[in-house]
Amino acid sequence: LIFTFIYEGAPNWAATNGVVSIEVPGRTPVEVRLDNGTDASTCAIAMIENKGGHLEITKLVEYFQLSAGKSTHQQLNERFGFGLRFKAGNKD
């Protein structure tokens, strides 16, 4: 999963003018514009999977915002079934 997260500084994705390009040799590039103007802080951009020895890219562009006390990271985990466990932490 390729995802991105606004930690601080930008009020929304539209303000970042963000563009993500994903290139796989021999395939048409996948371009994703991050242009959501809501307060969603996380965006699941694309999924890259190995299917029979070939890379397959699925464009997602799914935005997540804090909801029902669940962080956007927890929501990504549940949405894509990674099975991660979360606990409180800090950067210090």
Q: Is residue 86 over pLDDT 90?
A: no
Q: Is residue 2 over pLDDT 80?
A: yes
| pTM value > 0.75 | yes
3-state secondary structure the chain: CEEEECCCCCCCCHHHCEEEEECCCCCCCEEEEECCCCCCCEEEEEEEEEECCEEEEEEEEEEECCECCECHHHHHHHHHCCCCCCCCCCCC
Mean pLDDT of the chain: 90
Tell me the pLDDT tens digit for each residue of 6-36.
Answer: 988 888 999 999 999 999 888 899 999 999 9
